[in-house]
Amino acid sequence: MHAITRTGWIEVITGSMFSGKTEELLRRLRRSEIAGQSVAVYKPAVDDRYGETTIGSHNGRQWEATVIDNEGDGPREILDTAPDAEVVAIDEANFFSPALVDVCDTLANRGVRVIVSGLDQTFRGEPFEPVPELMATAEYVDKLRAICSQCGEPATRNQRLIEGEPAHVDDPTILVGAEESYEARCRACHVLRTGESGRHEPRPGDDD
Ligand SMILES: Nc1ncnc2c1ncn2[C@@H]1O[C@H](COP(=O)(O)OP(=O)(O)O)[C@@H](O)[C@H]1O
Ligand SMILES: Cc1cn([C@H]2C[C@H](O)[C@@H](COP(=O)(O)O)O2)c(=O)[nH]c1=O
Ligand SMILES: [Zn+2]
C-alpha cells in the first residue's frame, strides 16, 4: 500500500508475445509470496494453452490461477473472489472485456496491489483493448520487447502466420496460440496481407 495515501495501485506489464510478460508476472508473484503477502491470480477462460487453472510462460514456468469469464461483466467476478488478497494478478488481459478497467480501479482504490499482464497490440499492430486503457490508468507501466525472429532487433510486434503465410488484415482479432501461429517481429519485419483475396475463415473460439 502507498505509505502516505494508503491506496493500492496498478502495475501493467505489456509488450509483444515472447517478450517475457508472464515470466515477469511470475517473478513479482514469487517475491510477494516470499514477503508473506496473500496473492490471488486470475486468467481468462478463453486461454487454455497451459492447462485450465494455471498461467504459464513460454519457457514452462507455471502458477495456479482462477479462471474467469472474460466477456461482458465476467471480470467483475474478480471483485467477489478476492476480498482478502493484498496482491491481485491478472494474466492475458488482452482477452478481457473493457469491464476489467473498472475492476482494476476498484481493487486499487480498496488498497490492493494490482498486477496486470497483456498484449498492447493486435497482430495488425493496432491497440489491443483493454490493455492501452489500463496503461493510461496505471501507476506503473513496463513495456517489454522480444527478439525479432527475422533480424534479431528488439521486437514490439506480433506476426501472425497461417500455414506459414502472413495473416490477412481482415482476419479475426482473437486466435489463441503460440509458436505455431505467432512470431515476435520488429516494425520493419512485420507483414500483413491486404486486398481482396485470402481472408481466413473464423475458427471455433474466434469472437469477432
Ligand atoms: N523471439 C523471442 N524473443 C525472446 N524470447 C523468446 C522468443 N521466442 C521464445 N522466447 C522465450 O519466451 C520466453 C518469454 O516467455 P513469456 O514470459 O511467456 O512471454 P510472454 O508472456 O510475453 O509471451 C523467453 O524467456 C524465451 O525463453
Ligand atoms: C497478437 C494476438 C495474439 N492473440 C493471442 C495469442 C495468445 O493466445 C495470446 C498472447 O499470449 P502471450 O502470453 O502474450 O504470448 O493472445 C490474439 O488472440 N490475437 C492477436 O492479435
Ligand atoms: Zn526485424
- Structural domains present in the chain: 9-145 (3.40.50.300)
pLDDT for residue 204 = 52
- Nearest one of 47, 26, 7, 22 to 146, comparing CA atoms: 22
Atom 18 of ligand 1, residue of closest alpha carbon: 57
> Does the CB atom of residue 176 touch ligand 2 within 6 A?
yes
pLDDT confidence tier of residue 81, bands split at 50, 70 and 90: confident
Residue type at position 165: E
What separation in Å is there between the alpha carbon of 177 and the centre of ligand 2? Answer: 6
C-alpha cell at 15: 509488450
What separation in Å is there between the alpha carbon of 64 and the centre of ligand 1? Answer: 20
**Cα torsion 64, 67, 73, 77: sign:** negative
Q: Look up cell 527475422; give the residue.
A: 150
- State how far the Cα of 74 lies from the Cα of 89, in Å rounded to an integer: 16
> Does the CB atom of residue 122 touch ligand 2 within 6 A?
yes
CA atoms within 13 A on the CB side of 173: 14
Query: What SS3 state is found at 141?
Result: strand
> Does the CB atom of residue 158 touch ligand 1 within 6 A?
no
Task: Output Rg (C-alpha) for the chain, integer angstroms.
Answer: 17
Q: Look up cell 527478439; give the residue.
A: 147
pLDDT for residue 1 = 80
Atom 15 of ligand 2, residue of closest alpha carbon: 17
- Does the pLDDT value for residue 115 go beyond 90? yes
Give the mean pLDDT of 85-113.
97
- Flag whether 92 is marked binding: yes
Q: Residue 168 carries which DSSP code?
A: B
What separation in Å is there between the alpha carbon of 2 and the centre of ligand 2? Answer: 33
* CB of 91 closer than 8 Å to CB of 63: no
Atom 5 of ligand 1, residue of closest alpha carbon: 18
- Does the pLDDT value for residue 43 go beyond 70? yes
- Percent of the chain residues topping a pLDDT of 70: 92
Distances (CA, A) of 139 to 12, 14, 40, 115: 8, 14, 20, 11
> Does the CB atom of residue 120 touch ligand 2 within 6 A?
no
* CB of 75 closer than 8 Å to CB of 45: no
84 conformational bin, left if phi > 0, alpha if psi -120 to 50, beta if neither: alpha
Task: Examine the residue annotation and report whether 24 is marked as an active-site residue of this protein.
Answer: no
Q: Give the atom of ligand 1 at the shortest distance from the alpha carbon of 117.
A: 21
Residues facing 39 on adjacent strands = 87
pTM of the model: 0.93
Which ligand sits closest to the CA of 22? 1
- State how far the Cα of 34 lies from the Cα of 102, in Å rounded to an integer: 29
pLDDT for residue 158 = 98
> Does the CB atom of residue 142 touch ligand 1 within 6 A?
no
